[in-house]
């Protein structure tokens, strides 16, 4: 993997306790090219998708390639509540070389598959949302023929744009949907936080044609919590495993100013955390990622801290 870089240990700094009270004291490091020691203990694998090529192709503002390391820096300072025998391992980043997004997706798929093969739960950080196509394919390699992976995407956008010209940050779920269509299957996809002002009518038509579950942003809030939970439960009951992805540009820019496509009209962290709790409690979560952090436009590391807090919540509730 010529585009692979080992983790930079300098990202993991913070207050010292000598008791592993903080995650920078808990973290260990490994290479994606090496097998992990066999163990029955839980292993949480951090891997970065250091690329914003998909954003550039999608006419967004670039800078998300810097996202993974900024998330690490904020996560490092957070308290450690993991069990002593739980392994938290940083596997570094895969970068996009020579604007070759397709090659990066292939290599990232292999990396995710490697983690699953070694019984690790992938927690992936980006980076542009084209990460999702590679993440999903890596998970899919370890699913039996009749088993179904459901995708839950927290996002303002469907990301169902056609890739007739090239793959980009707006095409990952279109690619997955058409891959399934070629096999005579239907994508199991739920999008939470969708906005009419962020998706063209042809995207809604494609979503309807492919039986995509979605909930508009105006209903994705704490006032409609019971409805959100019911929709999630119905979706979860119909799948064997769940891949969950959070696009930070789905949040209101009041919470997430440092993203590739900001908007004040997004959702808030409280409804996302309630939804994550239900997803994790189902016992079906097999992969999680958070994407589209753009540090170039962040304010006081607010978006990086939000992303790190989401990762912190997930790894402590698996």
pLDDT tens-digit map of 215-245: 999 999 999 999 999 999 999 999 999 999 9
Write down the pLDDT at residue 170.
Answer: 97
What whole-number percentage of the chain has pLDDT above 90? 96
Place of tokens 């309630």: 274
Full-model pTM: 0.97
CB 39 within 8 A of CB 91: no
Q: Give Cβ neighbours of residue 301 (< 8 Å, ≥ 6 apart).
A: 70, 74, 295
- Residue 114 labelled as part of a binding site: no
Alpha carbon distance 228, 160 (integer Å): 22
Total domains, the chain: 1
Alpha carbon distance 111, 133 (integer Å): 13
Distances (CA, A) of 172 to 11, 45, 164, 217: 29, 22, 12, 21
- Residue 69 labelled as part of a binding site: no
- Residue 159 labelled as part of a binding site: yes
Alpha carbon distance 146, 142 (integer Å): 12
Look up the CATH number of the domain holding residue 31. 3.40.800.10
Write down the pLDDT at residue 286.
Answer: 97
Distances (CA, A) of 90 to 31, 58, 69, 98, 169: 8, 29, 11, 25, 24
Alpha carbon distance 241, 267 (integer Å): 25
Give the closest residue to 23 by CA, choosing from 251, 313, 312, 318: 312
Q: What phi and psi values does residue 234 have, to the nearest 5 degrees?
A: -60, -40
pLDDT tens-digit map of 265-281: 999 999 999 999 999 99
Please give the angle made by the CA atoms of 310, 134 and 244, to the nearest 5 degrees: 30
Structure tokens at 35: 């097998």
- Residue 129 labelled as part of a binding site: yes
Residue 175's H or E segment, with its range, is: helix 172-182
Residue 116's H or E segment, with its range, is: helix 101-117
Write down the pLDDT at residue 315.
Answer: 98
Q: Per the omega criterion (within 30 degrees of 0), is the bond before 118 cis?
A: no
Question: pLDDT tens per residue, the chain (318 residues)?
Answer: 779 999 999 999 999 999 999 999 999 999 999 988 888 899 999 999 999 999 999 999 999 999 999 999 999 999 999 999 999 999 999 999 999 999 999 999 999 999 999 999 999 999 999 999 999 999 999 998 889 999 999 999 999 999 988 999 999 999 999 999 999 999 999 999 999 999 999 999 999 999 999 999 999 999 999 999 999 999 999 999 999 999 999 999 999 999 999 999 999 999 999 999 999 999 999 999 999 999 999 999 999 999 999 999 999 999
Structure tokens at 54: 């998909």
CB 155 within 8 A of CB 198: no
Range of the domain at 80: 4-317
Give the closest residue to 111 by CA, choosing from 44, 43, 6, 32: 32
Structure tokens at 167: 């793959």
CB 132 within 8 A of CB 287: no
């Amino acid at each position: 993997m010529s585009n692979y870089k080992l983790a930079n240990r300098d990202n993991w700094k913070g207050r010292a306790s000598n008791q592993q009270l903080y995650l920078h004291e808990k973290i260990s490091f490994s290479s994606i090219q090496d097998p992990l020691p066999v163990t029955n203990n839980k292993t949480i694998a951090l891997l970065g998708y250091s690329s914003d090529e998909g954003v550039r192709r999608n006419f967004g503002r670039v800078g998300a390639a810097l996202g993974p390391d900024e998330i690490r820096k904020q996560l490092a300072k957070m308290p450690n509540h993991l069990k002593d025998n739980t392994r938290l391992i940083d596997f570094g980043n895969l970068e996009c070389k020579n604007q070759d997004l397709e090659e990066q997706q292939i290599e990232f798929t292999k990396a995710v598959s490697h983690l699953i093969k070694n019984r690790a739960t992938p927690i992936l950080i980006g980076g542009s949302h084209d990460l999702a196509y590679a993440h999903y394919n890596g998970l899919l390699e370890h699913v039996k023929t009749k088993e179904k992976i459901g995708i839950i995407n927290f996002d303002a956008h469907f990301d169902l744009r056609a890739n007739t010209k090239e793959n980009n940050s707006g095409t990952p779920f279109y690619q997955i949907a058409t891959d399934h269509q070629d096999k005579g299957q239907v994508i199991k996809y739920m999008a939470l936080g969708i906005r009419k002002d962020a998706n063209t009518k042809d995207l809604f038509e494609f979503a309807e044609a492919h039986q995509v579950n979605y909930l508009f942003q105006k209903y994705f809030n704490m006032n409609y919590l019971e409805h959100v939970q019911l929709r999630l439960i119905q979706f979860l009951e119909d799948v064997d495993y769940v891949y969950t992805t959070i696009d930070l540009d789905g949040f209101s820019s009041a919470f997430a100013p440092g993203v590739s496509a900001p908007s004040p009209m997004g959702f808030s962290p409280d409804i996302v955390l309630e939804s994550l709790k239900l997803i994790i409690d189902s016992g079906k979560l097999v992969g999680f990622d958070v994407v589209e952090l753009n540090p170039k436009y962040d304010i006081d590391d607010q978006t990086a801290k939000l992303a790190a807090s989401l990762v912190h919540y997930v790894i402590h509730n698996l």
